[in-house]
Amino acid sequence: MLSPAIIRAQGTRPIRIGEINSYSSAPAFTLPYRRGWQLAVEQLNAKGGLLGRELQVISRDDEGKPSVALRAAEELVRRQGVDLLAGAYLSNVGLAISDFARQNRILFVASEPLTDALVWDQGHRYCYRLRPSTYMLAAMLVEEAAQLKATRWATIAPNYEYGQSAVRWFMQLLSRRRPDVEFVGSQWPPLGTIDAGAVVNALAQQNPQAILNVTFGPDLARFVRQGNDRGLFRERNVVSFTTGEPEYLHPLGPDGPEGWIVTGYPVTEVLGDANNAFVSDYSSRYGEAPTMGSVVGHALISSIVAPIENLGSLDTEVMADGFGNVGFDTPFGRATWRSIDHQSTLGTFVGRTTVRDNKAVMVDWKYVDGGAMLPPDTEVRRLRPAT
């Protein structure tokens, strides 16, 4: 039996989240993301914390490497005594942390990794994922792509789990909607080292009527500029994952693509009360507008806090089964953790790109609820093993 002193100590010590992310290797997304969760933690603690205790986030940089992430997870759990793990940016890193969580029976809330494997074929009790998955983003884009006249498609994606998953789902879902569609080729540049000129030339030789793009960050910028210079996008439709996110779109400036169908975050637009309040608080705190990373970081904290408040417990086994069906607030509105696969229903925006006053922006947008983009439960049960 625990002594009264130990019980008192457990009841007053801070609640600790061990957070791991690619701060040095992907700063465009992860540094605003860190500001987002820092803001959320400050706001929570100013209101009295979680279960009457201060919430702390102990953060580590994984350098974009699964091996580094695993060392960080081990240190956070064994030495820092965190109550749960969270974070990750790249899909392969997220899968590595998820497997660590499964083996060590500690909860992992994946904030950013988009691969469906996290919640489906490699899903388990101890892993939840916040952002819309590759399947969900593909389904959103297919709604628009199916309406295009194009029948000849080519794809370009980084050659790792996220890119492969995104292309696979887009091809499957579009082919179901449009049996007349033909995919004439795929380009698989390595992440972070794209030879954009060679890729653009290869795509042009395949002569598609439309292109699916999954590149992001510096790879996207190189691809867009080479494609503009060589006329690849002239009279071709382009559908693109995440290109409308401010951290990827705004740096393109006047070189931004015209008319691409994208998922993203039109932060320059008025999006509703929840987002307006978030933008105001974030801008006041940091002196700059938020990005998608900021949204994910802020939502991460609320997605963890709401279920714990509901459960009144930090017991891992209780949390593993108890997050399901709990709702939480985000800058995009209300979302819910699904019990069936531990995927959140957080959605995102779909719209088109344009250049306005020499700035690349997202227009003609609509918000798409994430829950509406998931397959039927019967299909999810087939995709996810019993855990």
pLDDT digit string (tens) for 57-98? Answer: 999 999 999 999 999 999 999 999 999 999 999 999 999 999
- Asked if pLDDT for residue 2 goes beyond 90, the answer is no
303 vs 369: CA distance, rounded Å: 16
- Total Cβ atoms within 10 A of residue 376: 8
Tell me what the mean pLDDT of segment 238-250 comes to: 97
Q: Among 35-39, 42-46, 270-274, name the one with the lowest average pLDDT.
A: 270-274
- Supply the pLDDT for residue 218: 95
In angstroms, the CA 232 to CA 201 distance is 8
Confidence of residue 4 (pLDDT cuts 50, 70, 90): very low
pTM of the full structure: 0.93
For residues 357-384, give the mean pLDDT: 95
- Amino acid present at 289: A
The average pLDDT across 215-230 equals 96
pLDDT at 11: 64
Domains of the chain: 4-132+271-346 (3.40.50.2300), 135-270+348-377 (3.40.50.2300)
Distance of CA 197 to the CA centre of its chain: 28
Name the amino acid, one letter, at 105: R
Query: To the nearest whole percent, how much of the chain has pLDDT over 70?
Result: 97
Confidence of residue 140 (pLDDT cuts 50, 70, 90): very high
Q: Percentage of the chain with pLDDT > 90?
A: 95
> Does the pLDDT of residue 9 top 60, yes or no?
no
Specify the pLDDT at position 270. Answer: 86
Supply the pLDDT for residue 8.
38
| Lowest-pLDDT choice from 11-15, 105-109, 217-221, 353-357 | 11-15
Cα separations (Å) of 203 from 20, 133, 198, 217, 278? 36, 26, 9, 20, 40
Res. 203: pLDDT tops 90: yes
Mean pLDDT across 109-114: 96
Segment 247-302, tens digit of pLDDT:
999 999 999 999 999 999 999 888 999 999 999 999 999 999 999 999 999 999 99
Residue 12 pLDDT class (50, 70, 90 cuts): confident
- Give the neighbor-by-neighbor strand order of the sheet with 210-213: 182-187, 152-156, 210-213, 237-244, 261-264, 348-356, 359-368
**Residue 199: pLDDT band by 50, 70, 90 thresholds?**
very high
In degrees, rounded to 5, the angle at the alpha carbon of residue 266 between the alpha carbons of residues 275 and 262 is 135
Please compute the mean of the pLDDT values over residues 13-40 and round it to a whole number: 96
Q: pLDDT: is 2 or 35 the higher one?
A: 35
